[in-house]
Structure 1
Amino acid sequence: MTEADGLTVGQVASRLEVTVRTLHHWDEIGLAPPSLRTAGGYRLYTSEDLSRLHRIVVYREIGLGLDQIRTVLDEPGDTAAALRRQRDDVSQHLSRLDRLRTGLDRMIEAQERGILLTPAEQASIFGPDWNPDWPALARRRYGDTTQWQQYAERAAHRTPDQWRAVTAAMTALERDLAAAAADGIAPGSAGAESLVSRHRDAVGEYFPVTRSMQVCLGRMYESDPAFTAHYDGIRPGLTSWLRRSIDESARAHGIDPDTATWE
């Protein structure tokens, strides 16, 4: 059979290096139907059909979708103008992908570093006592936990000003905790309960904290020398006062501090 008589699906597939199934699909969706049929109903492609198929293959190879190819081939007017519109669509898509890549890069870096701030920014925001090695130490200790992942996800999108706001809220809380302990505010009182709630919210800026988890944090503050030194450095005995206040708050909400778990 010659090209003048029409080419079979198999012959066209071989010439274009596509599958017969692909040609059937393009026929079914009306993108490239054959102009002829044999008496037995078999598809036959004319030279004009083959020319259109060649163009489809070219546009597909540069990444256009079938609907976009249909627009380029069938839309009346300047083909170059249609291609420019498709190029603009591709450019917008690439911009979205670039933003996605940037976001993924920040997320990866946050998972690995914890805080996406320069050493100078860290010193400015967290104060002169801040140790820039602390995030790395925390990652080694907690990197496999859900809480570290949640912390990193928030850190990836947090700006220096947002870090300043988080730090300012924690500093104000610690000042008010020390004042309450100095004034003899009793654990379990309304004043202590309010501060315990603020403590849970402040820690919640890093990762979600349940009341049961807060009890565990209070225990850790007393057992970990670094945390004890921090709170008792603000006011002697503050670590114990905060832990007892957290425990009393938990009891008031039906949680036994002695059996509380990290959940």
Structure 2
Amino acid sequence: MLRVKEVADLVGISVRTLHHYDDIGLLTPEKTTEAGYRLYSSENLETLQQILFFRALDFPLKQIRDIVQSPSFDQEEALLMHRKMLLAKRQNLDQMIKTIDKSLQHVKGEVEMTDKEKFAGFDFIKNNAYEKEARERWGDEAVDQSNEAIANMSDKKQEALNTEINQLYRDLAAICHNPPDSPKAQSLIHEWYRLLNEIGDYSMDAFKGLGELYVSDERFTNNIDQFGEGLAIFMREAMRIYADRRK
């Protein structure tokens, strides 16, 4: 068996990460000595390999835990799935690298690029990591409407929308020390609801559910909290209050 430091050095992750995985019940060491040392077995290492494959594919920790601890979990099937998904990811990355290389030639005046060629490899709508969850929570219709709305926007319109969204995140982060039911918070959340409905059709239940996802899915949390620590939780509470008041 290996101690936690030995596992960390072998795998290339931090001891703190392994402690966190243990704390949340994702990867429990085979045993813990009386002195408090965590000891990992070969089976633990196989599970850790699965966890890190899922992490490489941007699965949230909670979902990974549910998958690897499921009685129906099949290691061979999971490895085949990892391989398929990573090959698809590599193909997409290879295309993006080609786009970069050709763009460099274009900047130097060596080749001409069509507008379509400039965006080869970018497919944020089809490959959106959150789309599956959105479909499961709110149904295909709302997601299809959002995708269609984005697809029909001009590049300039998409850029303007992104700028407005980022500014709203910053405005919310600046007041997240205030109560989420304060007039200022609710006014900004109203703007958030308005922006979301420019690219979709969100009911109050869907809006409230989206706020829950900001906290339950660490990918959302990490992205939102870049604007200010605790912003995801603040937005969830403010969105819940906003939705409940309008039901």
TM-score by length of structure 1 reads: 0.43
TM-score by length of structure 2 reads: 0.46
Instruction: Choose 1 or 2 for highest CA Rg.
Output: 1
